[in-house]
């Protein structure tokens, strides 16, 4: 498409059936007179049939994918095990086919060198679709940087008349 010079934005408004958008559906940039700019979006094909869950496991600090996390899916209505999965590969993704319904996803084993987070994450898996969930873990040896010298003091917020 041709756009006038200056700032531009592109928004994805629809994707083909059985595909989903990976990431945000908006891109923006600047284009100068006589120049071209390129934006791209990644589409991921959904499995042909069934329902399930796709878990992305990532490092909370760097955002890098993590393999080796094991999760159990507990049905919301009775707490029974509905499935389990382990993240694998360079993309840190685990996938499991499950019946449609509500599940609490609980991490059972953290990747080596990471803290286990047993916080249940509730997801709804619709019929014929795979729901996605991203879970972050902190490294075992991570120290939160604290520098009191760089803190910004809280200032009072006036209420009512100020003049």
- List, for residues 76-101, the tens digit of each pLDDT value: 999 999 999 999 988 888 989 899 99
**Average pLDDT of the chain to the nearest whole number:** 87
What is the location of CATH 2.60.40.10 in the chain? Answer: 49-140
Beta-sheet pairing, 130-137 with 52-59? parallel
Please tell me the pTM assigned to this model: 0.63
Length of the chain: 163
49-140: CATH topology:
Immunoglobulin-like (2.60.40)
Output the pLDDT for position 127: 87
Query: pLDDT for 12-29, tens place per residue?
Result: 888 887 777 777 788 888
Beta-sheet pairing, 130-137 with 19-22? unpaired
- CB-CB contact of 73 with 52 (8 Å): no
């Amino acid at each position: 498409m041709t756009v006038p010079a200056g700032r531009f934005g592109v928004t994805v408004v629809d994707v083909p059936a059985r595909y989903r958008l990976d990431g945000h559906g908006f891109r923006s940039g600047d284009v100068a007179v006589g120049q071209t700019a390129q934006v791209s979006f990644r589409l991921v094909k959904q499995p042909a049939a069934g329902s399930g869950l796709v878990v992305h496991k990532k490092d909370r600090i760097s955002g890098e994918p993590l393999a080796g996390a094991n999760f159990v899916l507990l049905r919301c209505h009775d707490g029974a095990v509905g499935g389990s999965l382990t993240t694998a590969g360079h993309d840190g993704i685990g996938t499991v086919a499950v019946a449609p319904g509500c599940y609490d996803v609980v991490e059972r084993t953290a990747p080596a060198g990471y803290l286990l987070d047993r916080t249940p994450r509730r997801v709804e898996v619709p019929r014929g679709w795979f729901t996605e969930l991203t879970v972050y873990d902190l490294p075992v040896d991570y120290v939160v940087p604290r520098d009191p010298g760089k803190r910004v003091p809280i200032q009072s917020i006036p209420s009512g008349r100020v003049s």
